[in-house]
Amino acid sequence: MRFIIQVLVITILASIMELFLPWWSIALAAAVGGYLFSTGANFLAGFLSIVILWVITSITIDLTAGAALTEKVAAIFSTTKPVLFVITALIGGLVGGFAAMAGGALRKDRRRMKYY
């Protein structure tokens, strides 16, 4: 449950921060989420949060697209559209994962989180 909340918080926080800050704000969001909710699976939480956020956002854009730029970018990278989504997700996920881990490591004692 705590893990799910952590994922949700990072996802929502990142989606808000991305409106005002550059792409690396996902790391800030993940770090904050890692710090506040430090679970045993901080990396996975940060990773999943950004993967979910970036995949949903990019697929939404692609579904309503008036032109097939996604296919063309995939072709420029000598790959296919599904792979491009995977690369996008992986890049965001890795940054989110490590940032969440760093955030979690800042926490002195995990048990003190219980009051939450």
Residue positions counted in the chain:
116
Token readout for 98 is 């490590």
Packed helices 42-63 and 81-105: angle between N→C axes, nearest 10 degrees? 150
Decide if residue 102 touches other proteins (CB under 8 A): yes
Distance CA 30, CA 62 (A): 25
The contact pattern for other proteins, residues 58-97, with x = CB under 8 A and - = no contact, is: x--xx-xxxx-xxxxx-xx----------xx--xx-xx--
Place of tokens 């939450």: 116
Cβ atoms of residues 46 and 104 within 8 Å: no
Decide if residue 37 touches other proteins (CB under 8 A): no
Distance CA 25, CA 18 (A): 6
Compute the least distance from the CB of residue 94 to other proteins, in Å.
6
Determine which residue in the list 1, 19, 114, 116 makes contact with other proteins, applying CB under 8 A: 19
2 vs 62 by CB, closer to other proteins: 62
Distance CA 13, CA 77 (A): 31
Compute the least distance from the CB of residue 5 to other proteins, in Å.
21
Decide if residue 111 touches other proteins (CB under 8 A): no
Residues in contact with other proteins by CB under 8 A are: 18-19, 22-24, 26-27, 31, 54, 57-58, 61-62, 64-67, 69-73, 75-76, 87-88, 91-92, 94-95, 98-99, 101-102, 105-108
